[in-house]
Amino acid sequence: MQINNLEKFRAKMSSGRLCVGTVITLSDPVVSELAGDCGMDFTWIDAEHAPFSLENVQGHVMALRGTDCAPLVRVAWNDLAILKPVLDLAPAGVIIPMVNSAEEARQAVASCKYPPSGRRGCGVRRANRFGQIPFDEYLKISESEPLVIIQIEHIEAVRNLDEILQVPGIDSICIGPFDLSGSMGKLGQTNDPEVVAAIEEICQKTLAAGLLLGTASGPYETWKQRGLHWIALTSDCGGMISNYNSIVEKAK
């Protein structure tokens, strides 16, 4: 939908461009609006780790409507009750964390799709512009959006990856390097050979399955070589810290 810039996000990736974005952790929607105005392709609104209310998330999604930037929302857990109100905010995509099996992946997809293909509850508000889009037209649109993004961030998920990738309805796989390394007893050691091997396996199999591939961790060149489609290169706080440190260093 034009309301969430998903068409623009998809078109950029289809053209072979690596889309770049930022993680949003601060409550003020101004940081999302600035990200869009500065040319970010997407935002990763982190409702898993940031102290967001549903109203905060809605503000960040709405702040991007006048930009070319697509709002992705990472929810707190793979749970129908958590996903349902976020889906009704009409984000471009939802990132669902810690999906470790094909059955969990099927549950995630089903939570994002209306019956008969899924189990999403129907209480449409913003997605059909509060009733201005005919319901039949909206239902057709809902078959392909928002993007269902499954996060692979545990060694158990890597072991079950072949089965996960066969689940219909998944649009993208997102790699979580830190939690993945933690599940291997090596938290934060993302350059460890065994962790790297697991990451490479995820990348290769995801691309072979024809799915979009993304992450929120650098370095940029390494991930680009792995064939990534989208990557969050910084966060709102990270961008401020980097710029503030640079300003202070120059002033001294």
**Over the stretch 41-59, which tens digit does the pLDDT of each residue have?**
999 999 999 999 999 999 9
Q: Taking residues 105-122, what's their average pLDDT?
A: 98
In angstroms, rounded to a whole number, what is the distance separating the alpha carbons of residues 230 and 213? 7
pLDDT at 192 > cutoff 90: yes
What is the structure's pLDDT at 217?
82
Taking Cα atoms as reference points, which of 55, 63, 58 lies closest to residue 5?
Answer: 63
Interval 56-67 mean pLDDT: 97
- pLDDT score of 233: 96
Choose, from 49, 60, 154, 229, the residue flagged as catalytic: 49
What integer pLDDT is reported at residue 122 of this predicted model? Answer: 96
How many other CB atoms are found less than 10 A from the CB of residue 163? 12
Number of domains in the chain: 1
In the predicted model, what is the mean pLDDT of residues 181-209? 98
Q: Residue 93 — pLDDT band, cuts 50, 70, 90?
A: very high
Q: How confident is the model at residue 64 (pLDDT cuts 50, 70, 90)?
A: very high
Identify the CATH number of the domain in which residue 38 sits.
Answer: 3.20.20.60
Residue 147: its H or E element:
strand 147-152
Which pLDDT score is estimated for 162? 98
User: Which pLDDT tens digit goes with each residue over 127-138?
Assistant: 999 999 999 999
Q: Say how far apart CA 214 and CA 5 lie, in whole Å.
A: 18
pLDDT at 94: 99
pLDDT of residue 2: 85
Containing structural domain, residue 93: 2-251
DSSP letter at 126 equals G
User: Mean of the pLDDT values across residues 213-229?
Assistant: 94
Q: Do residues 118 and 81 make contact, with C-beta atoms less than 8 angstroms apart?
A: no
pLDDT per residue as tens digits for the range 16-28:
999 999 999 999 9
- Is 49 a catalytic site residue? yes
Band of the pLDDT at 81, cuts 50, 70, 90?
A: very high
pLDDT of 210 strictly over 90 = yes
Whole-number average pLDDT of the chain: 97
pLDDT average, residue stretch 62-83: 98
**Residue 18, phi then psi, degrees to nearest 5:** -85, 115
